[in-house]
């Protein structure tokens, strides 16, 4: 069992990073191999909508997303953690998610090259916002859930939390427990 954590925050040691570490700890404690990728350290261009990946399953853009795509394919589950920036996901996470186009054909089905590895993939999301109303992160969650619904990927669920100051989420035992349980859920079924 491999669980991949994708950090969409440019703030290492921030609230999104802390909850992602909790989720990965939950998976690791049940025997999973875990890896974390911080998107802000990677060069990921936005999708060009050229359609070439619809035929080949390979994006024409030669950047770090090609290696991340390989790691996604190797993982049994992918847990994303991202803060809310201006009522949406960070630019880093948006470029990453847009590049998932390579996993699909022209009819938005999992590409035949990837179907054996993608068809049972589990996807989870953690969102954080500075507003006490955690539903502010719902558009982010909807983006990932819609991707799962469209493609038949298994939706693990979402953890929503509120924290403003860097590291503040460390004091929120409920959010940490929920993230840990999301990681554990990724290793089951």
Digit-coded pLDDT (tens) for 114-169: 988 888 999 999 999 999 999 999 999 999 999 999 888 999 999 999 999 999 99
H or E stretch at 78 = strand 77-83
Q: What is the CATH number of the domain that holds 61?
A: 3.40.50.360
Nearest-angstrom CA–CA distance, 36 and 55:
30
Owning domain of residue 80: 2-186
Number of domains forming the structure of the chain: 1
The tens digit of pLDDT for each residue in 4-19 reads 999 999 999 999 999 9
- According to the model, what pLDDT value does residue 107 have? 83
Q: Is the pLDDT of residue 111 over 90?
A: no
pTM, full prediction: 0.96
């Amino acid at each position: 069992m491999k669980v991949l954590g994708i950090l969409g925050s440019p703030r290492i040691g921030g609230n999104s990073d802390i909850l992602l570490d909790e989720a990965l700890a939950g998976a690791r404690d049940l025997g999973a191999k875990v890896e974390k990728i911080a998107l802000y350290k990677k060069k990921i261009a936005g999708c060009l909508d050229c359609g070439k990946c619809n035929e080949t399953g390979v994006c024409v853009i030669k950047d770090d997303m090609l290696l991340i795509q390989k790691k996604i394919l190797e993982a049994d589950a992918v847990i994303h953690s991202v803060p809310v920036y201006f009522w949406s996901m960070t630019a880093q996470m948006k470029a990453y998610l847009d590049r998932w186009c390579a996993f699909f054909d022209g009819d938005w089905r999992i590409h035949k090259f990837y179907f054996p590895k993608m068809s049972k993939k589990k996807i989870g999301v953690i969102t954080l916002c500075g507003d006490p109303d955690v539903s502010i992160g719902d558009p982010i969650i909807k983006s990932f859930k819609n991707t799962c619904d469209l493609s038949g990927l298994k939706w693990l669920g979402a953890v929503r939390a509120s924290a403003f100051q860097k590291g503040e989420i460390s004091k929120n035992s409920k959010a940490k427990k929920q993230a840990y349980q999301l990681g554990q859920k990724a290793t089951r079924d």
